[in-house]
Every structure is written in C-alpha cells, then in structure tokens.
Structure 1
Amino acid sequence: MKKFKKNIPTVFIVLTVLLTLFYCGNKNINQVAQNKIIKERPNVIYIMADDLTTQAISAYGGIYKDIAPTPNIDRLAKEGMLFNDVLCTNAICGPSRAAILTGNYSNINGYYKNERGGTFDKTKWTFPQEFQKNGYQTSLFGKWHLGTEPQGFDVFKYHNSAGQQGHYWNPIFNENGKDVKEKGYSTNLSTDFAMNWLEKDRKQDDPFLMVLQYKAPHRPWEPDTKYEKLWDDIEMPYPSTFNDTYEGRELTAGDTEMTMDYFSRRDMKLETPEHLKKDWKNRLSWEFYGAKRGEIVQPENMSAEEGKKWRYQTYIKDYLACVKSVDDNIGRVLKYLDDNNLTENTIIVLTSDQGFYLGDHGFFDKRFIYEESLRMPFIVRYPKKVKAKTVNEDVITNIDFAPTLLDLADINTEEQMQGNSFKPMLLGETPKNWEQEMYYHYYEFPYWHHVQPHYGIRTQKYTLAHFYYNIDVWELYDLEKDPKQMHNIILDPQYTNVVANLKIQLKGLMEKYENNKSLADFRKITDTDFGAIVENKSGEPSVQDIITNNKK
C-alpha cells in the first residue's frame, strides 16, 4: 500500500502528459483540417463595370454585336452561365452597389439615391467582411462610389475624386487610406493594381476574394487613346425605338432629361476655349452647357434630326470604345488565371450596377423600371461546378448576389438578408418555390435627369409601375406582346384582372420587403437631403449647382 501511494504522483503526471499530448495533437489535426478546407474553397473575382448594359455585350446579341464584339466577356458566357433576367432593385449606381453589398433593399440598407444621397453606413455588414472573417484574402480595386472607405478588405485602391466618381485620365485613387495620383487610363490602371496584387502581394496558397470595379463605361465616356477614332468611318446602327414619341407615356418617359437633347459639350468632346481652362467656374458652365432644357449642342446648319443623330453617333462610339477597354482588361485577368492554373477553382462574376440606354427610346442613362435599365448583365464562370454554355431565365435580383457568393464559398452567416442564394440555378436546377417576380423602387428627383420616382412589380410576363411624386400615373406592359414597352395598356379592359392581380402581388412584395409606406412617406425620402456623397472641402459648387445656377 505504501508503495502504491508513493507512486500516485508519478502516475498522475504521466496521465496528464498523455492527455495533454492527445488534446494538442487533436487540436493540431483539427486546425490542419480546417486550414485544408479553407484552402480548397474557390477563389472569387467579382467584376463590375459601371453602366455596362446587355446591349453592349455581344454574348447577349443585339445590333452592335458584330461591330463592337466583346470576346473576353463572351468567353465567360461560353465557359459558364449567362443570365437573361437578373434585375436591379433601384437602377442607380450607389443604391445598387449598397444593395449588392448588403443583400438588402434601399429601405433597409439606408441608401436610397445618389444626388444628395448621403454616405453608405460603413458600420453595416457587407459580404466582403464575411469572406474576410472566414479566412479569405480580400481586395478592392477601381470604383467604390459609396462615400466612405470600404470595409472588409485587406487592401483597397479606389477612385477618390469627383465625389468618388473618379476620372478616366490620370485619376486620384485612395490607396489604403492615402490619396495617390496615378498617371494613365483608369480602366488599365485598375487592372494593373489588381494584377500586381494577384501576382505579388497575395498569399499564393490561400483563397481570395477580389472585387474589380471599373469606372467605365460611365459618363463622360472617354475612350483610351488607341480607341478614340475606332469607328470614325462608319455610322452605327440605331435602336428600333430610337424615335420613340412616348405616346401614352407623356408624363413619364416623355418628361425626362435623358434624351439625345441633353448631351453637354463635354459629352460631345468639344474643345474647351483656352481662356477658360484655368477659370474652373466658367469652364464648367461652358463644358456642361447642353444639360439643361433648351440647350442643344450640335454643329451649325444641322437640322434637328441631323443633330440628334450626330449626338447619338458621338455618344455610342465613345461608350462602346470604353466597353472595349473593359473587355481587353478582363482578358488580362483571364490570361493570368489560365497561366497560373487558377481557372478551374475560381468563380468569376461579370456584371454592372444596372443596365443603361444606348439610344433605346431615345435615351441615355438608366433609372426607369423599363427593361434596358432594369436588366443587369450577369455572367458566372466556375468550371468546377457550373456547366459551360448554359443560360438561365429565372427572375433574380441584385440583393441575391451576396447570399449566392457566400453559398458558393460554403460560408455560413448569421446575418439576415432579404436576398436569397441562387446557387441551385448555377448547378442546373431552379427550386420550385423560387419567386419569379420582383419589387422595384426608384426615389431620386429631380436630379439627375428628371425621372419621376416610381415603384412597381416585374414578372416574367408583365411590368406594372406607379409613378407618384407630383403625378399619379400607372403603367402596364405585356412583355410577351410588347417586349420593347412601347404601349402602355393600363386602361385596356382586357387587362383589368391582370392589373388587379398584379397590384395585389405588388402590395405583398412591399410588405415582405418592409417598404409598404404611404406616398407621403415616399415623397419625403425623395425630398430629404441626406448630404453630399462626399464632403466638398474646396467650397466649390457642385456641377449640378452650376448647371441649375442655383447654388445650395
């Protein structure tokens, strides 16, 4: 007994050591297993061009596909899935970006409009933060345009001039908190930053999320030097709705400042007089002449029809030339993935913040619930899981992007999002309970472009919209019979029941998304000045102030 008692401490020590070794060994094994899971997760490259529209991408067809093809974007479609019915919940840059990042509508994320639209609340959760938290390297290059410094990125370098709108040439970027002026063309520069990070700065064996967001092809549509005269010797074709008279839509589509009559001297690339180049106030007044009603910019001795066509030709050639540079630079990214054996396990998303009008209905810009601005280009390539040369026709919205990207990366989150993952569609099967309709709401008025605030429902067959700020107008379009939306059939007795049912569905969606407010409340949002997108430290008036001669 004494001997046994004497050896108790020795036995206890041995057991403790063995248990400790076992625990540590298991812990190390679990850590190794966890690290392996993280390393096997797919890389994600999210590419978003600003104001890129399906009409400008040859994979979607259209009248420019043979004149201005986009071979690198088309390659993504050939090797992945092209989506035909991805829709924007609020077709304007900042609010769309906020919806994409948060997975929530404007009324939840708080970002309703661009003009005096405030800043995006940087304390809000965004999907890059979740990637970062789950072991991903994260980076952002190019355009941010939300008035704050990005959150959830290990490194960032974004446009930080002109209210974060940026400039095409020799732009200022915010690089991890410090402004740096770069020399060159912004589309090429943004890709240069991305390539440098991919090649040199990231950990080569760990998964990454890279967000690459181009300024192009946003206004003022300044092409790279090598593409400035690319189509000088041809006349671009005109959309079939170019000469829309807006019959039956006089107070909505017919009362905007986004027709071919509203291009400025800057848009038309007219040379600023030498004596104004150092006089910023008078220079801007001169350059932005044409943006107000009654200011028509065109060469002398042209008829109204000739002037309209001249403005369109200048605009469309510059726009498509900007797209060409975007396509070229996407090609650079694809080549890097190919050369470094990363293609198979990298998800690439190609999209825009909304659609855009390329002379359709005689318009440029976006904002409306009408198809050209509502529909977003959206292509996903993921060779490991997404079948090549596939096309999806389901109704999907931009609030669905965040949950889908997280789902594809097998990242679970407790964050509540209004959007839903469409990963099943990428794998080839649409869930039976997937909703094939969406709720739309645009709030900004009158700047820019004088588009009436409106909300509505878009199904696979119909568009119903209510324009409400200082008018009370409903519109209905049968997308099967009238895909160009030229005929407002809201008063057609054949559609009485359709209208009634759509209004019930619309109300249900507004309740679901917690935005079933009164018209007075909606108008209050439009009237509210949320402040400048970014602080104007210089004291200079904004471009809008100069255009309206109404300094705020």
Structure 2
Amino acid sequence: MRKDVSAVFLTVQLMLVTSCGSGEDSIRDPVAPQPVPPPSTPTYDYPRVNDGEDMPNVLFIMADDHAISAISAYGNSVVPTPNIDRIAAEGVTFSNAFVTNSLCSPSRAVMLTGKMSHINGVRGNADVFDGSQQTLPKILQQNGYETAIFGKWHLKSEPTGFDYWEVLPGQGRYYKPNFLTPEGRVTEDGYVTDVITDKTLAYLSEKRDKDKPFFLMYQHKAPHRQWWPAMEELSSLTDKVFEEPDTLFYDQSGRGTAAMSAEMTIAQHMALSMDNKVWPRNLPADYSEFLSYAEQEFRDNYVLLTDEQKDRWNAVYQPINDDFMVNPRTERELTQWKFQRYMQDYTAVIKSVDRNVGRVLDYLDESGLAQNTIVVYTSDQGFYLGEFGWFDKRFMYEPSFRTPLLMRWPEKITNPHSIKSFVQNVDFAPMILSALGINVPEDMQGVNAMRVVEQEPDDWVNEAYYHYYDYPAIHMVKKHYGIRTERYKLIHFYDDIDEWELYDLERDPKEINNVFEEPRYSEVLKNIKDTLYRKKEQFEKYEVY
C-alpha cells in the first residue's frame, strides 16, 4: 500500500516541484484572485511601553534551508561566512534555536504570527496563508513603523501589512528571477541573491520614509534546492573535497518506519541532472531518474542564462560532466560523488548570501544606521548536509530541527556572547515586539526571548515543542510531534503508523539509537511523556487531528 501512495506522490514531486525547482507555476500568483476572503486591515491596540524613546529599526534577514553547520560563527562550518559572522561577533548567537515545524511555508507563517501552525492555518506548503489575520508587521505599522519585504515570501496569498513589497512567486528561481509587486509581475536580469539585495538597498537608501523607523524583511531564496551558484562563486568550491558525515551510509536501523521510508536520500532521491548538474544527455541509459522531467527542469534553468553566462557555466560544469562520463562508479562511489557535488553547489550559493549580507551591513555602517538597528539572521529551518544519507529537512532530528539565530543591536547588546537557553521561531515575533517596547498580544503563543539576551534567567524553561503535518507529500516524511529537553527527545509518529522514538542526546547526540523500549529509561520516558502532553495541551488544546 505504501508503495502505491509513494508512487502517486513521486508524481506530485515531479509535477508540482514544491521543494525542488523554481516552483513558480505551481504557486498561485499573489496578485491574482485568491480562494480566500479579501484581507481586512484590523486596528490593533498594542501601545508602546517606552513611548517617547527613539524607536530602533529592525532588519530581519532570513535564508532558506541554511544549516547551522554552514555558518562559521557556530564553529566547524563547511564554508566560511565572514559577513554573517559579523552579526555574531557584535551581538549574540543562539546555540539552541529551534523551529516548530521544519518546512518552508509553515515556518514563515509561525514567525509572522507568533502562533503555531494549526492556529495560523499553514500546516504544509500547499496551504494558503490568511492575510487578514494579525501579524507582526501589521502591529508594527500601527505603532509608527514603515514595513517592507523583499525576496522570498512563499505563503501563496498577497503580502499584507507591508508598505513596500516585492516577492518571489513560489520558490522563485536563481537566474533572471520574477517578482510579484503591487503593480504586477516583473522580471529582473541577474542573480536572485544579488537582485534581492539590490532591492533592499534601494529601499534603504532611496524609498523609505526617513522620519519613520523601519521593519525590513530581507529574505533569500538561497540556499534552497537546486543550488545554482552565482557567476562570482561558480568555480569557488568545485575543487574542494568535503568531509563525509560518518552517517552518510547509515541504514536507519536504529530508528523506525518513518526514517526508513522517507524519500530524501542522496543515494536514491537526489537527481543527477537537476541537482548535481549532469547534462541530461549524459545520464546512464538505465538510470531510473525521472528522465523527461529532469531534462526539462535542467533546461528551464539553463535557458535563463545569457550567452556569456553559459560560456562561464560550461567552463566549470563541462569538466565535471566529462569526469562523470569517463569514470564509472560503484553505487557507493556514486553516492559519494553526488554528496561532493551537492556540497560544492550548496556552499557556493551560501557564499553569495554571505557576500550580499555584507553589502547590507556595510550600508548600515556607512549610513550611520547600524547603532540603533536590530539585525536578526535566521533560516526557515535547518537542513541535512549528508547526515543519515539525507538532504532536505522535515524531521524533528537535530540537523533540521535546529535553526541559526544571530542578533546584533549595538545600542543595547554590548557584550557579544552565546546563548544556551532554548528559543523557537514562534518566539521571534514576541521577541521583536518586546525589544521595541510594544506590548505582546495575549493570543501570541510564543514567549519574550529578549529575556535571555542580556542575562539568561534561572527560571527559563528549556523545552522545545514540534509538530510536522505535511504527509503524504514530497519526501514522504510521516506526521509527527514531539518534545526536546536539554538531554532527551521524544517523538511520536502518527496517522498511518503509531511509533515512538526516544533519544538520550547526551549519550547519543547523533540520534541513531532509539531507546524507547529500553527498561532503564522507563522513568525518563514517564517524565518526558508528561512534559510532552503538558506542552501539547499548552500549544494544541484547540487542535483536532
């Protein structure tokens, strides 16, 4: 039965590309009529606590699928990120920031609303965000802020609560990107990370009302799949050999059905053409990859390059293709080759993000805005860089559950340091409101994470709750919810299965040994189940599933 369902959703994966390609045709155009009620603009009564003081600006930077292990401020990074590291060096690094639902659209909706997925209405990537509901930018507008967003939106409905917005349709594309604006769709020449930054800098230098504080969301497509590097970074890492994770060939035997049945392995589910840049004509005759789709997807990206860009692109990737053709590989060797290709392109697109973040930070410094501008850097979730043989996200395991979170505010944060206290993306809106002296709405489910910035309080509760809903769908990760404490993690996979996993993170930080059935953990299990059900009641008392 599962094989039949999987086959259906493999077709969905190929046709809708909600995670793989540009995804533009599969996403409703936000400027077109939507099958939801017209957004209203309610008035919020959340007055400032510190009325009369200078209001700080906020620059909220979000990348897509940026793993902590690809930010050098966190140590042992697969790629240097000197500009992103500037935020950490002059501010705080949250070492235990987590998401509530490791998927693009749900994570963005949680950040905007300060509410869990079942409350804000976006459980999966197919859901349309209700733009009439209360959001962080709307509250800021009511408190005198000018608001703007440039880059990835990925919530299907038209952005509301923004004075300026230019967003990618769906996932967007790396070259010659389209943008949706209040005036309609426009196409820009250039590379998407550069273009988003150009728009952001144009707003800061030319368009904004300089008599108002700003809340600016600067949101990148990169490093989302399919990892097409900018010309500047095209050949920067193609010769680098990346260290393989020691779990690259892990068989999931210490886990359960969910991990074993997920369709996100580098070996079987990473596409040679779409992802690793092998020319479709060079694919083996017996290769079972979705050949026609792979060829079309590859060409859809390649055709966007100018002739000069194609020459530069071919100069880098033709030798890679030649090597692929003349050096036969065993199944294991092919997985290792695909891993190296994946990492080379993934890290190259991150270099573009870092370079462009530097451009914006430089502008803040040069314009005198840096001192009283809160800069936040985060991602919509983490990402697997070969751990357990995977790419993508979705699971509650650490590589995708943890997300980067860095914050700089020179006016208030004068002692750069790392924060161990747990925070989640549902806390981001309350954290920003609190930093600005604006009362947090009572119906926001997040907590004020600013409390841990200056001094971590003894009464802070280090528990992180998670709930993933998007099954059956691309990558076939089963529905699950769970709780993480400082030492333990408990996960319940439900719906078409009923399986539990318990991990002792102190003894097993890589989460490869499920101890749920071990008698020596019986008391631990009882206690953490109580914690899980308490947290579930706190966050999901209105949920039905």
Note whether the superposition's TM-score is higher than 0.5.
Answer: yes
Distance 2:66 2:244 in 1: 18
Q: 1:282 to 1:365 in 2, by over 3 A?
A: closer
- Per-residue deviation at 1:487? 0.9
Alignment counterpart, residue 132 of structure 2, candidates 123, 133, 146: 123
Distance 2:542 2:483 in 1: 13
- How many residue pairs get aligned? The number is 463
1:311 aligns with 2:338: yes
> Structure 2: which 5+ runs fail to align?
1-47, 283-289, 299-320
Counterpart mapping for 1:30-45 below 5 A: 40-45=54-59
> Structure 1: which 5+ runs fail to align?
1-33, 275-280, 290-296, 523-552
1:215 aligns with 2:229: no
Distance 1:71 1:193 in 2: 22
CA deviations over 1:436-482 (Å, ceiling 9, x no partner):
11211101112211111111111111110011122221101111111
- Contact 2:419/2:456, CA 8 A, preserved across alignment: no
- Contact 2:491/2:500, CA 8 A, preserved across alignment: yes
Alignment counterpart, residue 209 of structure 2, candidates 203, 206, 210: 203
SS for the counterpart of 1:254 is helix
- Per-residue deviation at 1:175? 1.9
What is the alpha-carbon root mean square deviation over aligned residues?
A: 2.1
Distance 1:481 1:516 in 2: 36
Alignment counterpart, residue 143 of structure 2, candidates 126, 134, 146: 134
Alignment counterpart, residue 488 of structure 2, candidates 462, 470, 473: 462
Amino acid at match of 1:262: H
- Contact 2:66/2:404, CA 8 A, preserved across alignment: yes
Match of 1:342 in 2: 369
Amino acid at match of 1:482: D
- Contact 2:178/2:188, CA 8 A, preserved across alignment: yes
Alignment counterpart, residue 355 of structure 2, candidates 304, 307, 328: 328
1:375 aligns with 2:375: no
Distance 1:244 1:431 in 2: 39
Match of 2:247 in 1: 241
Amino acid at match of 2:275: D
TM-score, normalization: structure 2?
0.82
Match of 1:255 in 2: 261
Distance 1:53 1:46 in 2: 18
- Per-residue deviation at 1:205? 3.5
SS for the counterpart of 2:261 is coil
- Contact 1:86/1:376, CA 8 A, preserved across alignment: yes
- Contact 2:193/2:353, CA 8 A, preserved across alignment: yes
Distance 1:124 1:212 in 2: 22
Alignment counterpart, residue 86 of structure 1, candidates 76, 94, 97: 97
- Contact 1:510/1:516, CA 8 A, preserved across alignment: no
- Contact 1:50/1:352, CA 8 A, preserved across alignment: yes
Distance 1:211 1:441 in 2: 25
Match of 1:406 in 2: 433
1:472 aligns with 2:498: yes
Tell me which stretches of 4 or more aligned residues in structure 1 moved more than 4 Å: 36-39, 297-300
Distance 1:119 1:157 in 2: 18
Match of 1:502 in 2: 528
Q: 1:63 to 1:189 in 2, by over 3 A?
A: closer
Distance 2:297 2:264 in 1: 14
Amino acid at match of 1:270: V
Match of 1:231 in 2: 237
CA deviations over 1:385-425 (Å, ceiling 9, x no partner):
12332110111111100011011111225452000111121
Computing the radius of gyration from Cα coordinates, the structure with the larger value is 1
Amino acid at match of 1:455: Y
Distance 1:351 1:483 in 2: 23
Q: Which moved more, 1:129-138 or 1:202-211?
A: 202-211
1:267 aligns with 2:275: yes
- Per-residue deviation at 1:245? 2.0
